[in-house]
Amino acid sequence: MIFRTYKYLIILLVLFGCKQSERKLKIDNAVINIKPPKGMSYIPGGIFIMGSSAEYAENDEGPEIKVKVDPFFMDETEVTNVQFKKFVEETGYVTVAERPVDWEQIKKDLPPGTTKPHDSILAPGSLVFSPPNLAVDLNDYSQWWQWVNGADWKHPLGPESSIEGKDNHPVVQIAYEDAVAYANWAGKRLPTEAEWEFASRGKGNYAEFVWGDELSPQNTYLANFFQGDFPHNNSLEDGYETSAPVRSYPENTYGLYDMIGNVWEWTSDWYRPDIKKLYLANASKLCINPKGPDSSYDPNDPYATQKRVIKGGSFLCSAQYCSNYRSTSRMATSIDSGQNHLGFRCVKDIE
């Protein structure tokens, strides 16, 4: 798997940062009317239990910790193709997937002595889900992920594909740097993992899924995920093979759409599988506005030193492979990795 890399960090963990319409916020018995910016929802903040130690949870989801987050605004939907297009037209921004590839940077995240691939492999491009036509070993994701030259946000499946007619689909093939650039332009930022998880759960919800404890109540699909035999046979029972237009499914109790499924979403936190254990070791009983570690570490990929947390799952999440359509699910992703099931949404501080 080929990734671009722009900086090299020695893994060093120091102290951690733990020390719909109009909504209302109560402060000192006064009621302040909060009117979110257009296209955003007011998230009131509060104390919640972050993570999961349930039997079905992955090891990096626990242990559960008590967390407090301050109020903030959050985009109601994932950033769409038409929104990202406006950003590109106004700024001339070129995404990571569209830029020339620098082998000298890439090899820093690979085992020493890795042979340089042919120049044709190092052409601009990105990762695309390419399902096989038969059952394969689910331990080998190279069976369904391929590097495709010419894949980018305008051509999410490769140079012959396009986003024509998909203005309201979430933009994909977005590397972390691209998401940050858009957020800065929009006067916003990316959410922390804690903010994202709090907002995704909705008001006081500790069910397995955003809507309850049943994945498809009464055979109704409430999110865009994979049905059938993964990865080779998508039965399309929810109507979508890849992404769905935003707002295709019901919003949660904070007025947020597609917090589960559709496409994965970037957060600002560096990834470590043991972060919650480290929070517990460095904080009191309550962790306030945690922002993740100062550097990343993924024991499954020790040479890749720059990974951020993505949340929410995607149209590829399957009960047979990765049931990441839950608020507590998390995944490590290299910051230079664009994929056709990875996008983002933004948040904004309340001044």
pLDDT tens-digit series, residues 125-155: 999 999 999 999 998 988 999 999 999 999 9
pLDDT score, position 186: 98
Distances (CA, A) of 171 to 58, 185, 188, 218, 336: 28, 16, 17, 31, 16
Q: Is the pLDDT of residue 16 over 50?
A: no
Q: Is the pLDDT of residue 7 over 50?
A: no
What's the domain count of the chain?
1
Asked which of 107-111, 114-118, 267-271 is least confident by mean pLDDT, the reply is 107-111
Q: What is the mean pLDDT of the chain?
A: 88
Residue 7 falls within a domain, yes or no? no
Q: Is the pLDDT of residue 188 over 60?
A: yes
- Mean pLDDT to the nearest integer, 253-280: 96
Asked which of 22-31, 221-230, 238-247 is least confident by mean pLDDT, the reply is 22-31
Residue 268 falls within a domain, yes or no? yes
The pLDDT tens digits for 330-350 are 999 999 989 999 999 999 999
Distance of alpha carbon 115 from alpha carbon 97, whole angstroms: 22
pLDDT score, position 32: 57
Q: N- to C-terminal Cα distance for the chain? A: 42
pLDDT score, position 33: 75
Q: Is the pLDDT of residue 313 over 80?
A: yes
The share of the chain scoring above pLDDT 70, in percent, equals 89
* 310 SS3 class: strand
Exposed, middle or buried, 11 (CB in 10 Å: 0-12/13-18/19+)? Answer: middle
pLDDT score, position 116: 77
pTM for the full predicted model: 0.88
Exposed, middle or buried, 186 (CB in 10 Å: 0-12/13-18/19+)? Answer: middle
Q: Is the pLDDT of residue 119 over 90?
A: no
Asked which of 116-125, 191-200, 281-290 is least confident by mean pLDDT, the reply is 116-125
Q: Is the pLDDT of residue 105 over 50?
A: yes
- Which domain does 296 fall in, by range? 47-349
CB 231 within 8 A of CB 145: no
Residue 40 falls within a domain, yes or no? no
CB 290 within 8 A of CB 16: yes
The pLDDT tens digits for 243-264 are 999 999 999 999 999 999 999 9
Q: Which amino acid is at 161?
A: S
Structure-token match 């490590």, residue found? 332
Residue 2 falls within a domain, yes or no? no
Residue 171 falls within a domain, yes or no? yes
CB 101 within 8 A of CB 3: no
Q: Is the pLDDT of residue 26 over 70?
A: no
DSSP annotation of 46: E
- Mean pLDDT to the nearest integer, 201-228: 91
Distance of alpha carbon 44 from alpha carbon 70, whole angstroms: 7
Q: Is the pLDDT of residue 113 over 90?
A: no
Q: Is the pLDDT of residue 112 over 60?
A: yes
pLDDT score, position 85: 98
Kindly report the CATH number assigned to the domain that includes residue 319: 3.90.1580.10
Exposure string over 44-56, b if 16+ CB within 10 A, otherwise e: bbeebebbbeeee
Q: Is the pLDDT of residue 317 over 70?
A: yes
- Backbone φ and ψ for 201, nearest 5 degrees, come out as -60, -35
Distance of alpha carbon 171 from alpha carbon 223, whole angstroms: 17
- Mean pLDDT to the nearest integer, 193-209: 92
pLDDT score, position 12: 29
pLDDT score, position 21: 34
Residue 293 falls within a domain, yes or no? yes
Residue 185 falls within a domain, yes or no? yes
Q: Which of 314, 206, 202 is nearest to 250 (CA)?
A: 202
Confidence of residue 69 (pLDDT cuts 50, 70, 90): very high
Residue 137 CA from chain centroid, whole number: 25
Structure-token match 């947390």, residue found? 309
Residue 15 falls within a domain, yes or no? no
